[in-house]
């Protein structure tokens, strides 16, 4: 329940930002993927089935608001969650820099997975080249926004815990 | 066995969700409708409308502020008066521009038969590799799936999903989009698809067809979605290709898709305009 409240509190404003304001300040075509940062947070801090379902829900929401095939972002988000979850069980990911690096790598993973899945489903000339063009800018933007989003998520988590107590 | 699942329940759940995502993708490619999408679109619509309104208001205030930079403190009262006038001016100019745009849309609407409705763009695609927009009209206004979306400057796209009061529009520049089209001058036939650079490509043109830079590309009406003769764009380059019977041409869309604020949706096309 706490996880669902935390997700809703942060995801809805993040999605609103991503569909209204952030496209206006896009660098080239690249915009910061706020939902991906939330997904990484879930992989690092919510080691439960709720975390996995949350990651799926984040991807599904992105699918709903984008013109692509339903399920592509859901798949990529689930994969990012799983990889981050496994990483955090084996590596110590606790300081700010390591979290930024994890988000950067997660963004690269997500875009690459989507690129591979899109290539499986449709044949679009130049799609790979185009997506590779904003692979790095997207990952960099996500990394820049990581400290703020993580701080907000941590604060929201504290609030929801206090409320339930 | 049960112990294994208990110990690895997160991984098992993740694997299940990965499989579900793949099944959703395959189902979506097979044309299955997504029932949740409409509900989510409808729930987010008022929020998107509010944020877009707030951004517009903030932009207006920012412009007013910039216009007032340079005025001295001694003229505070005068400055306040100027600010009020500036705000009124910006508001008036915005109103005038909106009126002009709507007037152009209305005049454009009268050029073809059939029913159509004007709508406001309230959201844009969150992902850079697909190009869709959300509009503030939906099923309650008679907008269904696969309705033509136009502006007075040309074709914008078609609706791909709707809820009661909102709909999502696939722009002609998206790689999933396809519009049956002809070259106005030579009547050469082809399909205009979205390219990844924000433009379009006219494909499946006969190798012998007469196509030149600057040619106007219009809808053919053969796809049953777009009325015949609506401008799509202008040929910017012809790629003859080295092999095969076909060639393609790069098209610059006539409608300024990134700057559009209002669009016209054809809710019921006239039968005589469809081939």
Domains and CATH numbers, chain B: 34-275 (2.40.10.350)
Give chain B's count of helices (H) and strands (E).
Answer: 4, 12
pLDDT, residue A16, reads 85
Contacts 24+ apart (CB under 8 A), B37-41: B37/A63, B37/A64, B37/A70, B37/B161, B38/B161, B38/B162, B38/B163, B39/B163, B40/A61, B40/A64, B40/A65, B41/A64, B41/A65, B41/B134, B41/B138, B41/B161, B41/B162, B41/B163, B41/B166, B41/B167, B41/B168
Computed over its alpha carbons, how large is the radius of gyration of chain A?
15
**E strand intervals along chain B:** 114-124, 132-135, 148-151, 154-162, 167-171, 178-183, 189-194, 200-206, 216-219, 231-239, 246-253, 262-269
Query: Higher-confidence residue: B269 or B19?
Result: B19
Query: What is residue A8's predicted lDDT score, i.e. its pLDDT?
Result: 80
| pLDDT cut 70: percent of chain A above it | 88
Q: Cα distance from A1 to chain B (closest Cα, Å)?
A: 17
- The mean per-residue pLDDT over the stretch B112-125 comes to 84
Subunit contact B52:A20, Cβ cutoff 8 A: yes
Between A86-90, A132-136, B54-58, the lowest mean confidence (pLDDT) is in A132-136
Query: CA-to-CA distance for B202 and B192, rounded, in angstroms?
Result: 4
Across residues B257-275, what is the average pLDDT? Answer: 76
Considering only residues B75 and B102, tell me which one the structure prediction assigns the higher pLDDT: B102
CB contact under 8 A, A67 and B132: yes
CB of A132 less than 8 A from some CB of B: no
Where residue B270 falls among pLDDT bands split at 50, 70, 90? low
In chain B, pLDDT over 70 holds for what percent of residues? 89
How far is B134 from A15, CA to CA, in rounded Å? 13
- The pLDDT of residue B246 is 87
To which H or E segment does residue A54 belong? helix A49-65
| Rounded CA separation B35/B163 (Å) | 10
CA dihedral A45, A50, A53, A55 (to 10 degrees): -20
* Pairs of residues, one from chain A and one from chain B, whose beta carbons lie less than 8 Å apart: 159
B274 band by pLDDT with thresholds 50, 70 and 90: low
- Separation in Å, CA A42 to CA A69, A78, A154: 24, 11, 11
Note the CATH architecture for domain A2-164.
Orthogonal Bundle (1.10)
Strands (E), chain A: none
Tell if the pTM clears 0.90, that is, is over it: no
CA-CA distances (angstroms) from residue A116 to A76, A105, A113, B53, B60?
10, 16, 5, 38, 43
User: Is pLDDT larger for residue A98 or for residue B71?
Assistant: A98
pLDDT of residue B273 exceeding 60, the answer is no
HSE-CB at B56 with a 13 A cutoff on CA atoms is: 14
pLDDT at B91: 81
Token pair 């159509």 in the structure block, residue: B116
Confidence band, pLDDT 50/70/90 cuts, at residue A61? confident
Q: Residue B69: its pLDDT value, please? A: 61
Q: Looking at residue B179, what is its pLDDT?
A: 94
pLDDT digits (tens, 9 = 90+) for B164-208: 899 999 999 998 899 999 999 899 999 999 987 778 999 999 988
* Cβ neighbour number for residue B239 with a 10 Å cutoff: 13
Count CA atoms within 13 Å of residue B189 on its CB side: 6
User: Cα distance from A159 to chain B (closest Cα, Å)?
Assistant: 23
Give B257's contacts in chain A (Cβ within 8 Å).
none
Q: Are A62 and B126 an interchain contact pair (Cβ–Cβ within 8 Å)? A: yes
Mean pLDDT, range B95-105, rounded to an integer: 80
CA distance A6 to A29: 30
**Residue B18 pLDDT more than 80?**
yes
Question: Is the predicted pLDDT of residue A37 greater than 90, yes or no?
Answer: yes
Query: Would you say residue A93 has pLDDT above 80?
Result: no
pLDDT the model gives residue A159: 55
Residues 95-114 of A with CB under 8 A from B: 114
Q: Distance (Å, rounded) from C-alpha B136 to C-alpha B49?
A: 8
Helix, strand, coil percentages for chain B (3-state, nearest 5):
40, 30, 35
- Which chain B residue shows the shortest CA-CA distance from A19? B126
Per CB-CB distance under 8 Å, the chain B contacts of A57 are none
Q: What's the pLDDT score for residue B175?
A: 87
Closest Cβ opposite residue A49 in set B13, B48, B175: B13
Q: Torsion angle, CA of A139/A141/A145/A147, rounded to 10 degrees? A: 50
pLDDT over 90 (residue B48): no
Say which residue the tokens 């990965």 belong to: B18
Please report which confidence band the pLDDT of residue A77 belongs to, taking 50, 70 and 90 as the band edges. very high
pLDDT at res. A165 = 39
Quote the minimal CA–CA distance from B169 to chain A in Å: 8
* Predicted pLDDT of residue B202: 94
Closest CB to A81 among B14, B23, B47: B14
The rounded distance, in Å, linking the Cα atoms of B222 and B154 is 17
**What's the mean per-residue pLDDT of chain A?**
82
Q: Which of A34, A38, A65, A129 to mutate to test the interface with B (most CBs of B within 10 A)?
A: A65
Distance CA B75, CA B97 (A): 31
pLDDT band at B74 (very low <50, low <70, confident <90, very high): low
The answer on pLDDT for A163 being more than 50 is no
Question: Of the candidates A65, A70, A78, which has its C-beta nearest B126's C-beta?
Answer: A65
* Average pLDDT score, chain B: 83
Mean pLDDT of B221-236: 90
Helices and strands (H and E) in chain A: how many: 7, 0
Least Cα distance to A19 among B136, B63, B257, B49 occurs for B49
A78/B18 Cβ within 8 A: yes
ipTM over 0.90: no
């Amino acid at each position: 329940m706490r996880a669902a409240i935390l997700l809703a509190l942060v995801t809805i404003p993040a999605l609103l930002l991503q569909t209204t304001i952030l496209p206006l300040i896009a660098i080239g075509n690249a915009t910061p993927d706020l939902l991906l940062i939330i997904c990484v947070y879930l992989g690092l801090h919510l080691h439960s089935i709720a975390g996995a379902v949350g990651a799926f829900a984040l991807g599904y929401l992105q699918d709903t608001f984008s013109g692509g095939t339903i399920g592509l972002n859901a798949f990529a988000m689930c994969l990012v969650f799983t990889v981050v979850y496994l990483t955090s069980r084996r590596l110590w990911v606790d300081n700010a820099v390591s979290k930024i690096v994890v988000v950067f790598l997660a963004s690269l993973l997500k875009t690459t997975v989507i690129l591979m899945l899109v290539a499986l489903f449709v044949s679009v000339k130049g799609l790979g080249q185009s997506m590779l063009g904003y692979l790095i800018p997207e990952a960099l933007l996500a990394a820049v926004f990581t400290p703020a989003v993580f701080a907000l998520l941590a604060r929201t988590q504290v609030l929801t815990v206090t409320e339930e107590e | 066995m049960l112990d294994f699942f208990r110990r690895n329940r997160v991984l098992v759940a993740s694997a299940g969700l990965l499989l579900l995502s793949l099944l959703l993708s395959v189902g979506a490619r097979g044309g299955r409708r997504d029932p949740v999408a409409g509900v989510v679109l409808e729930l987010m619509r008022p929020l998107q409308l509010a944020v877009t309104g707030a951004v517009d208001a903030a932009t207006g205030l920012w412009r007013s502020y910039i216009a007032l930079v340079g005025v001295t403190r001694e003229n505070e009262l005068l400055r306040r008066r100027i600010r009020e006038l500036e705000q009124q001016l910006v508001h008036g100019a915005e109103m005038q521009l909106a009126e002009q745009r709507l007037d152009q849309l209305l005049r454009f609407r009268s050029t073809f038969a059939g029913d159509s409705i004007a709508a406001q763009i309230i959201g844009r695609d969150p992902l850079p590799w697909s190009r869709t927009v959300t509009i503030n009209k939906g099923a309650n206004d008679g907008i269904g799936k696969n309705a033509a979306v136009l502006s007075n400057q040309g074709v914008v796209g078609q609706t791909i999903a709707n809820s009661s009061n909102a709909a999502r529009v696939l722009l002609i520049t998206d790689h999933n989009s396809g519009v049956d089209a002809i070259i106005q001058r030579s009547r050469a036939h082809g399909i205009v698809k979205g390219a990844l650079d924000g433009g379009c490509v006219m494909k499946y043109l006969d190798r012998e067809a007469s196509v030149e830079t600057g040619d106007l590309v219009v809808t053919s009406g053969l796809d049953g979605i777009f009325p015949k003769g609506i401008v799509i764009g202008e040929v910017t380059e012809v790629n003859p290709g080295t092999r095969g019977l076909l060639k393609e041409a790069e098209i610059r869309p006539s409608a300024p898709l990134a700057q559009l604020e209002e669009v016209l949706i054809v809710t019921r096309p006239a039968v005589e305009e469809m081939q």
